[in-house]
Structure formats: C-alpha cells, structure tokens
Amino acid sequence: MKNEELEQALILLVEKKNQLATIDYNDSQYDDLEEAIHDDEDNLLEKYGDFLEDILADVHDELCPDDDVLLPTAYLANKYVKKEENGAVTYQAAEGGVIVDVDEYPNHLTRLVLVPGPTRLMLQVGKQKEEEVWRLS
C-alpha cells in the first residue's frame, strides 16, 4: 500500500464532503455529488478497507474496547476545516465521526474521526479537546 495514495483518496473524499456541506438538498448538483462520494467511499474501502479496519481495531482495543469497530468510512466527518500553513495543508474535523465510550473520559462526548493531511485518527473529547491516537507513517 502506498501512503500517498491513501492520503490523496482521503483528501478527495474530504473535499467532496466539504462541497456537499455547502449546498442545499434542492441544488441540482446535490444528488450527483452525494453519489460521487459514495463511489469514492466504496473505492476507499475496496483498496484500503482491510488496512484501516486493522488500525481501527487496535485503537478500539486500546481506547474503547466495549465499542464495535465500524467500517472505516463511518469515521469520516461530515465536514472538515481546511488550514494552510507554510505551504502545508491540514484538515480538522468539524462535525461527525463515530461516538465511542472512552473510560479515560467518563461523562464526555468522545468521537473517533479519520482525518487527512496527514492521515490520522483523532479522538475528540467534547468540543474543547482533541488528541491524535494514530498517524500513518
């Protein structure tokens, strides 16, 4: 598996999800864009699904062993914030991901989110805290 290809596949998906988040259901492009996202998700799962599921299983075992591992595409946010610093593009999940129960953070809403730029899994604790729990090396 080539890390750069996975990174580019995730960026493509994130950019389309961001575009979808900006248009209304009644927009003539909405259905086509939503279908393109589903096709890209299917392609991502076909090519990288097993690899990502193994990573997710390891992260779940460590952080939230009582929660089931879902398909990797479930861990994608619905919307991302794109940031550019010193010529490098990074993304931060704005909304979405998978809600998990993390013993370390009782009584907090915690989510696992797959984020590109670089490809990583982020644990969001409420709206105030975020920590990286895995990074593609």
Q: What is the mean pLDDT of each run of 10 residues along the chain (137 residues)?
A: 89 95 92 96 96 97 96 96 89 92 93 96 93 95
Which of 71, 6, 5, 73 lies closest to 37 in space, CA to CA?
Answer: 73
SS3 66: coil
Is pTM beyond 0.85 here?
yes
At 87 the pLDDT is 86
Contact 76, 56 (CB under 8 A): no
